[in-house]
Amino acid sequence: MRVAVDARALRSGRGVARWVRGVLGALADAHPEDDWAAVVPGRAPVAPVHPRVRVVHTALPSRALHGAAAVARRPRVAALAGGADVVWLPAPAPVAPGAPYVLSVHDRSWEQRPEDFTRYERAWHALARPRALARNAAAVTAVTHAVARDLRSTWRVDAHVVSPGVASADGVVPRQGRYLLWVGALEPRKAPDVLAEAYARARSRGLDAELVVVGAGREALDSPGVVRVGAVDDHELAGLYAGALALVAPSRLEGFGLGPLEAGVHGTPSIVSDLDVFDETLGQAALRVGRDDPEALARALLRIAGDAPLRARLGTAARERAAAYSWERSARALHDLLAQAAR
């Protein structure tokens, strides 16, 4: 089977990039008989995905390619890859597949919270025509049952659940110090403003831990005690997870929420908001707080920083929940759908 992948996310370094690398690497490991081509816009280099994954760069840069695909339905991903039996679209985007395709959906944030996006981003999503893209797909996947239910009720599309995986914790050296950890884009839907206020309140009441921030974005998260480290590689991120008192994810909206499970691999607990998706992925293996409630979050920060037995209990439970999510499992489920679409 020849598979072409719309791999534009590899240039972003964000959550969808981790999704593409994790699943595509596991697919190439498990199915060396298949041909895997990752199509990346422009000539800028990207880190290799897997020895058996061909990275195909396009002559057109990213925006030009997106615009042409949206308006002229050219060039087609399958043709750019040199031909394909099936195309995998890891996320909705302005694209011309050129072959039967499987579409993965992570959330509907651009529909649920359009005010969080710039004018260009809103136009980009409009050009992507995500509902039509989903309805014309050979199969649609959702990262959680919560997203699948949402797609069924809003888009009238049935989706197969194919969740991300998490990497193992072998050979990780924990970062030293007492700190809480934020990992993710500094976007309104992630609620960095709520965390900033909660952290300031907790510090005023004696919280003796820094807040280490991994990620970038339009929102500010700068105050006394906050340490911004920006983008880090996987090795450094694993050390940050392993050494943290807890990961904090007070999100207003998530499709999956990879950070708490990645922290759980290292036995690190999390404080998360009361979203349905965290019920599904973590259950009782985390402290839960109401959305947009900085006072409740401040109390949770103080509680988890001051209670080592609680951290140990939640960390053990989080490790058990994380064990259910592997890239190999993701690849098995996605390969079945790709093979059906190719036939």
Q: Give tens-digit pLDDT for 252-262.
A: 999 999 999 99
Question: Whole-prediction pTM value?
Answer: 0.94
The pLDDT of residue 230? 85
The pLDDT of residue 44? 87
Neighbours of 61 (CB within 10 A): 12
In terms of Cα–Cα distance, which of 182, 184, 225, 220 is closest to 203? Answer: 225
Q: How far is CA 314 from CA 52, 139, 251, 263, 334, in A?
A: 39, 36, 19, 11, 31
What value does the mean pLDDT take over residues 154-166? 97
Q: In terms of pLDDT, which residue wins out, 322 or 234?
A: 322
In tens, the pLDDT along 171-210 reads 899 999 999 999 999 999 999 999 999 999 999 999 999 9
Neighbours of 205 (CB within 10 A): 10
Estimate the crossing angle of helix 15-30 against helix 327-342, to 10 degrees. 70
- Using left for φ > 0, alpha for ψ between -120 and 50, and beta otherwise, residue 265 falls in alpha
In terms of Cα–Cα distance, which of 94, 162, 148 is closest to 338? Answer: 162
pLDDT band at residue 269 under the 50/70/90 scheme: very high
Mean pLDDT across the chain: 94
Helices in 141-257 by DSSP H: which ranges? 145-154, 192-204, 234-243
The pLDDT of residue 222? 82
No. of helices (H) and no. of strands (E), the chain: 14, 13
Residue 45 host element (H or E): none
The pLDDT of residue 217? 86
- Do 39 and 80 form a contact (C-beta atoms < 8 A)? yes
Residue 52, token pair as written in the block: 């058996």
Bond into 75 cis (ω within 30):
yes
Q: Evaluate if residue 337 carries a pLDDT over 80.
A: yes
Residue type present at position 312 = A
Structural domains of the chain sorted by starting position, each given as residue range(s) with its CATH number in brackets: 2-165+326-342 (3.40.50.2000), 179-322 (3.40.50.2000)
In terms of Cα–Cα distance, which of 214, 332, 208 is closest to 262? Answer: 214
